[in-house]
Amino acid sequence: MVPRSLLNLNTFRVDHSCRSISYTNSSNDLVDLAKTINKPIIVGGGSNILFVDDVDRDVIVINHEGIEVIKTTNKYVYIRVQAGTNWHQLVLWAIENDLGGIENLSLIPGKCGAAPMQNIGAYGVELKNVFVELECVKIGTGERWVLHKEDCLFGYRESIFKGELKDKVIIDNITLKLTTNSNHTLNRDYGIINDKLDDLKVKKPTIKDISDVIIDIRKSKLPDPKEYPNAGSFFKNPIISTVKLKSLKSTYKYIPSYVIDNDSVKVPAGWLIDKAGWKGKQINGVGTYKHQALVIVNHSARSGKEILEFSKLIQDDVLEKYGIKIEREVNVY
Ligand code: FAD
Ligand code: NAP
């Protein structure tokens, strides 16, 4: 078997190889491949994956697309979306149809089948806010299986698919519940959205206005993987105790934090990394993005190993400086 290049299947643009690449064009293809391929690696858009070496495994790329309205009530529209549908295209479809719920998740790269993996989130909204259920297929048997929202154990950038079901199932389609315009409450809690709407003098924003503002903010802040190969936030924001925050404040007076509950807060990992001196720093062709230290950019590294090594230097330094262990968000193979 001739090894196949993974270069176009990961937004870090590392050129490792795998044994073979198969593509799904339908849900039936997915079942067939799940039955016949042993221990496959599943790839959607490759925007949350780091290959650190050549992999002696077969890759299945999820390509089957489609958006179907399955139920409508006065308030809600239920849609079933095939796993290979581009996430942002789905957001645009919702906006065109005047449906609310995912406008804050505009411009997140990747495909819909990967969205439950880390319960994608941005600007105060997470997938779980609109999620109903998904259908997946068991690797090995090809058996179909429906998991409801509570079965998916969604957490902050977490789900059962990153834990107990890792490498055991392939997500075939997801069902979401969107809200009709007149019944939808826009989520503007994330401060910068309101600031931007004020700048634009938008008094009564629409679903589309929120999406447009977020697209604008994201384009100005985040590196386009085509220009700066990256996989978004490399680490999750750590959740620490309020006691720990108090002790850190004696040294870092201006450390930002967001309340999770009475005893814990979320601290932006990007701030910790930036203040530790890593913003814009480069080693061996790998660096943090100049405007957001949480994003690791592959400038010229040939191997994903160099990216992983760079990330470990950051993790060690953050641990040493603040006593906080930051966890990877990106999926490493
Ligand atoms: P991949 O990278 O292809 O896969 C990710 C993981 O999911 C892998 O482990 C893969 O095996 C598994 N997987 C993929 N599809 C399936 C399937 N059908 N069944 C089973 N397993 C599957 N994420 C956020 O949450 N919020 C953001 O705001 C955000 N912004 C980003 C900005 C940039 C510039 C970039 C590059 C990334 C960003 N991300 C963000 C991360 C990423 O876009 C999301 O996690 C996205 O959902 C990944 O989709 P993908 O199709 O590219 O997944
Ligand atoms: P930002 O606005 O500079 O804020 C930095 C961090 O502070 C964010 O990560 C966010 O946590 C937290 N934060 C800010 N305001 C908050 C609020 N009102 N309530 C709760 N938490 C708040 O962040 P950014 O880097 O430009 O990203 C903007 C949004 O896009 C964030 O939601 C971020 O998660 C998302 N994003 C995600 C990725 C990814 O790959 N996962 C990549 C780019 C952007 P949260 O991350 O928990 O929201």
Q: Is the CB of 229 under 6 A from ligand 1?
A: no
Q: Which residue has the tokens 């999770």?
A: 260
Please report the pLDDT score of residue 1 as a whole number: 66
Sign of CA dihedral 110, 112, 116, 119: positive
Q: Which two tokens stand for residue 287?
A: 């660096």
Q: Which residue has the tokens 């411009």?
A: 107
Q: Which residue has the tokens 């090809």?
A: 142
Measured from CB, residues less than 6 Å from any atom of ligand 2 are 121-124, 189-192, 221-222, 232-233, 237, 258, 266, 268, 270, 292, 329
- What does the pLDDT look like over 251-282, one tens digit per residue? 999 999 999 999 999 999 999 999 999 999 99
Among left, alpha and beta (phi > 0; psi -120 to 50; other), residue 98 is: left
Contact by Cβ (8 Å): 213, 275? no
- The residue annotated as part of the active site, out of 47, 159, 233, 257, is 233
Please report the pLDDT score of residue 2 as a whole number: 75
Q: Is the CB of 61 under 6 A from ligand 1?
A: no
Going by alpha carbons, the residue nearest to atom 16 of ligand 2 is 190
- The alpha-helical segments, DSSP class H, found in the chain are 27-36, 87-96, 191-199, 207-221, 242-249, 269-273, 304-322
Please give the domain boundaries of the chain with CATH numbers for all domains: 4-62 (3.30.43.10), 67-183 (3.30.465.10), 230-332 (3.90.78.10)
Q: Which two tokens stand for residue 143?
A: 């058996």
Q: Which atom of ligand 1 is nearest to the CA of 113?
A: 18
How long, in residues, is the chain? Answer: 333
The segments of the chain whose pLDDT lies below 50 read: none
